[in-house]
Every structure is written in C-alpha cells, then in structure tokens.
C-alpha cells in the first residue's frame, strides 16, 4: 500500500480535536502528505446560533462564526507545524461537521480522514449518531479514529 497523499482532519477547537490534529500531523509528516485541516462552523446570526447548538449538542465544542473558526484553524496549523507537517492547508467550512468533512475529503481527493473519538461511546452518540461514527460510515476513504477522550 502506498503512503497517504492527502490527510484531512477536522477540528472544532477542543482539546480532543487538537489531539486528532496532532495525530494527523504526525501521519502527514511521516508520509510526506498534504495535511488539510478543516473546521466546520455556523454563521453567527441568532437563528444559526440556535441551529448550531441543536446540531452540536453537548458532544462538541461550539464553533459559531468565521472568526473563531479561523482562530481554531491557526492554532491547529501551529500544532501541525511543530509536529513536522510541512504541506498544510486550512479550510473553514460553513455547515454540519459530518457533511463538511465529507465535502473537504471530496474536494481535496483525500485518501485518509482523521477524527477524534469524542461522542462515539456516549448515549447521545449511540442514539443520534456521532461525528466519528457518521464519517466512518459515509466518507468512502480510510478513517483513523484517534482515541482522544
């Protein structure tokens, strides 16, 4: 099997998601791959804030508005550089985390998606679905679920 060429990782600014960024950065550095760091966010209108809170529930750190997303991406990029990743792209994406990650994977022709395990073993995650389980089911590429909790 050839080394990965493009690794996508999602972050929401939580420590758990930054652990996934760290692992993705290490994989990208080891394989010489491009690392694409994505952050899904919701626009900052009142209606959209309410929608974000409903969608994200208690299982995810809330990213609302493009400024927090950009800050999150910069922090993630800084971490990735420290871990040796050299080809890094950052992508803020408006919308649901699962669909946003799928879009980034498709748009960048990624061959690996890295996510943290937060929400995977919770009651809410089992009933409503979690980001890691949904992307693993729907992504169409290799998925690395990092134990981050």
Residues 47-94 pLDDT 10s: 555 555 565 554 444 454 556 888 999 999 999 999 999 999 999 998
The range of the structural domain enclosing residue 13 comes to 6-146
Looking at residue 31, which CATH number applies to its domain?
3.40.50.620
Number of domains present in the structure of the chain: 1
Indicate whether 41 belongs to any domain.
yes
What mean pLDDT, rounded, does the chain reach?
80
Q: Sort 136 into a burial class: Cβ within 10 Å, 0-12 / 13-18 / 19+.
A: middle
Indicate whether 31 belongs to any domain.
yes
Check if the beta carbon of residue 60 is closer than 8 Å to that of residue 13: no
Indicate whether 35 belongs to any domain.
yes
Closest-CA residue to 39 (of 55, 21, 19, 57): 21
**32 or 118: which leads in pLDDT:** 32
pLDDT at 17 over 80: yes
Indicate whether 89 belongs to any domain.
yes
Indicate whether 1 belongs to any domain.
no
């Amino acid at each position: 099997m050839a080394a990965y060429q493009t690794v996508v990782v999602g972050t929401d600014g939580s420590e758990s998601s930054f652990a996934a960024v760290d692992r993705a950065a290490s994989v990208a550095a080891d394989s010489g791959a491009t690392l694409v760091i994505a952050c899904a966010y919701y626009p900052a209108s009142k209606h959209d804030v309410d929608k974000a809170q409903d969608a994200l529930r208690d299982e995810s750190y809330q990213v609302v508005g493009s400024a927090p997303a950009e800050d999150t991406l910069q922090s993630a990029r800084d971490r990735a550089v420290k871990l040796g990743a050299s080809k890094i792209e950052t992508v803020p994406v408006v919308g649901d985390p699962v669909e946003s990650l799928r879009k980034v994977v498709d748009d960048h022709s990624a061959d690996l998606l890295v996510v943290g395990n937060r929400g995977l073993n919770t009651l809410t995650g089992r009933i409503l679905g979690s980001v890691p389980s949904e992307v693993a089911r729907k992504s169409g590429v290799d998925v690395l679920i990092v134990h981050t909790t």
